[in-house]
A = this chain, B = another copy of it.
Amino acid sequence: MTKFEVKILGCGSALPTTMHMPSSQLVEMNGKLFMIDCGEGTQLQMRKLGARMSKLHSIFISHLHGDHVFGLPGLISTLGLLGRTADLTIYAHIEMETLLRPILNFFCKNLSYNVNIVPITKSGFNLIYENKSISISSFPLKHRIATTGFLFKEKENMRHIKREMIDFYNIPIREINNIKLGADFVTPEGDVIDNLHLTTPPNPSRSYAYCSDTAYDKSIVPHIKGVDVLYHEATFAESELNRAEKTAHSTARQAAEIAKMAEVEKLVVGHFSSRYTELETLLHEAQAVFPKTELAFEGKVIAL
């Protein structure tokens, strides 16, 4: 299987602490790095955690709160100093263009590459990026301002052709890809060999969903149904349920309820309030509902 990996660069909330950095993470698929959110210090975290700047493909911004975007000017500037030439696309809500462009025009004059800012549709489930092997989609979350979650999904993988069948039927190389895609094989004698006889099922398509920041919102469940890993914000413990509701954030238990309803394989919780110096309470509250819960931390690598 190809590498499909998430690296947490920051999983704190609005107020950074000595324990946690503002939100940012890298999703590696097909040798490319897709960044989700870019809080202050993201470029420093990339260096510290050994993430290769040259592999950065594009950036997906969940919403326009400072702790998810203030790292953009510094990162963009640094990529220029490093001589990047490939376009960089930033997917973000519509106001990003008006906010970021004047900063880039002033501070990042003569950048060696183009920055494209592509607006995210605020409602519905939308495909925002795809190539031949992956797709990235957005869907609305429930926060104080327009916010979207992201679903990173492998496209259906090819079936595995059985080595011994290639030999037995003397299958020519030019036919192999078609058979992997599901075609039957017709022998020179005109016999049709069923594909199911020649192949085994493909590796399952892996998927990763990012839901931060958001209040408890059951309407996202269909979008993230059965994902391998769900990252869901858990800003508060259950004792701060009122505050979670008021600020449109989630408790750890609520994140776990969503994971359970969506029947995901694994839940990773993050976006921790600065009030928590230890996170055991949040973890236990989530695990009571959904045992396969883990805490995010800076540097955590989640292999899918």
Contact = CB atoms under 8 A, between A and B. Distances in A.
A220 interface: no
Q: Which of A44, A69, A71 is packed against the most chain B CB atoms within 10 Å?
A: A44
A78 interface: yes
Q: How many copies does the complex hold?
A: 2
A71 B47 CA distance: 18
A202 B98 CA distance: 56
B43 A81 contact: no
A16 B44 contact: yes
Nearest to A71: B40
Contact of A107 (B22, B41, B65): B65
Interface in A45-95: 47-48, 64-67, 69-71, 73-74, 77-78, 81-82, 95
A61 to B, nearest CB: 13
Q: Which range contains the number of A residues in contact with the other chain?
A: 20 to 34
Contacts of A66: 73-74, 77, 107-108
A95 B103 contact: no
A73 B66 CA distance: 8
B14 A77 contact: yes
A131 interface: no
A49 to B, nearest CB: 10
A105 to B, nearest CB: 10
A15 interface: yes
Contact of A95 (B17, B21, B77, B106): B106
11 contacts: A14-B78, A14-B81, A16-B43, A16-B47, A16-B78, A40-B40, A40-B41, A40-B73, A65-B107, A66-B77, A70-B74
